[in-house]
Amino acid sequence: MRGNTKPKTVGEFRRIGSAGLFRPWCAAGTLNGLEQGEGTYLVRGPLLLMAGIGLFGLLDANSKLLAGSFSASQTIFLRYAVLLTLLFGVRALVRGAGGKLGTRHAALHLTRALSMLGAGTLFFLAFRHLPLADGYLIFFTAPFLTLIAAAVFLKERIPAAAWFWSAVGFLGVLMALAPQLGEGRTGSLFGFACATLGTLCYTTNITINRSLRGERGVARLVLWPGIVGGAATLPFAAWHWAAPTALQWVQLLVNGVVAGAATVCLALAFRVAAPARLAPFEFIALPWAVALDFLVFGNRPSLEVIAGGAVVALACVMSERAVARAARLPPAQGIPAGNA
């Protein structure tokens, strides 16, 4: 039956069972980052990544609406508080929901939580001292750093197509931001340092997500950032606390829900697909940001932004086609599946 899971008789269907019948569509192999069952090509990794990036875009838009009324520490603390409340609330209703809370890889989870907190804080500080275009241009070096980290630390083979289409995606971002970069504005050295360190923190988070792919469940993905981030921001949130209105409470609660969903989507994306597969898709943040800026804040995109977004979309499509044709490569090194 291997290689052809379609049953020909009722008895054969019973012998295979529904789990065997659908396993090729559900199992996640790691063959050059393609989620492949028995010859079946899936797109879970890119879809999860794009969903996560879209949710982070919604989070940024909602946070921007709240920025004039609340400190970053209060907003981030409440985000983590909602995450933990949701996690333990669901587990109270459904025993064991989300998988185990304990882990054999506490150091990796702690580092991941700190990197997530660092990325959020550093980019908040960066955009206080930098034009948006400068900050985004630094952030969009992250796909290249992710590929380098995958090659150096995870020992993954990076095909030339991944480098090429990542470069094309970066070119699209540069096209979109070029008019702003040419306005003669200069950011502070502190702002550039924060943006650079924030990008490194983001890359660290992505790399650890990939390394932890053998752990099952999502509970630990929420628990560790929630505890570490909540504990770190609580003193500052208490010091700068501002009483929210009813509507603002709703916005703050939505922040937590969206942040949790985005975090899980991003982490799962790099569990089921290699960075070489996903790197070009990280540039999809540009079209997401443009769309949200127009829909939420009414800012119409320029022709340069539209053209840059089209180049980013082209890079994603062509990268996907290139990786789909790629030959099988040895799986990446990480935590063996089942060691959760």
pLDDT single digits (tens) 30-60: 333 333 433 334 578 889 999 998 898 888 7
- pTM score of the predicted model: 0.73
pLDDT for 36? 40
pLDDT for 183? 56
Backbone dihedral angles phi then psi of residue 42, each to the nearest 5 degrees: -115, 165
Contact 254, 66 (CB under 8 A): no
- The rounded distance, in Å, linking the Cα atoms of 136 and 131 is 9
Contact 87, 230 (CB under 8 A): no
Burial class (CB in 10 A: 0-12, 13-18, 19+), 44: middle
pLDDT single digits (tens) 95-144: 888 889 999 999 999 999 999 999 888 887 787 777 666 677 788 888 88
Strand pairing category for 35-36 and 41-42:
antiparallel
Contact 59, 259 (CB under 8 A): yes
pLDDT for 257? 92
pLDDT mean values, one per 10 residues, the chain (340 residues): 42 35 31 36 79 86 80 89 93 90 92 92 78 73 88 86 87 79 62 87 91 87 93 94 93 90 89 84 80 78 82 81 59 48
pLDDT for 80? 92
pLDDT for 286? 77
Structure token digits, residue 23 = 């396993």
pLDDT for 187? 58
pLDDT for 234? 95
pLDDT for 24? 30
pLDDT for 107? 94
pLDDT for 22? 28
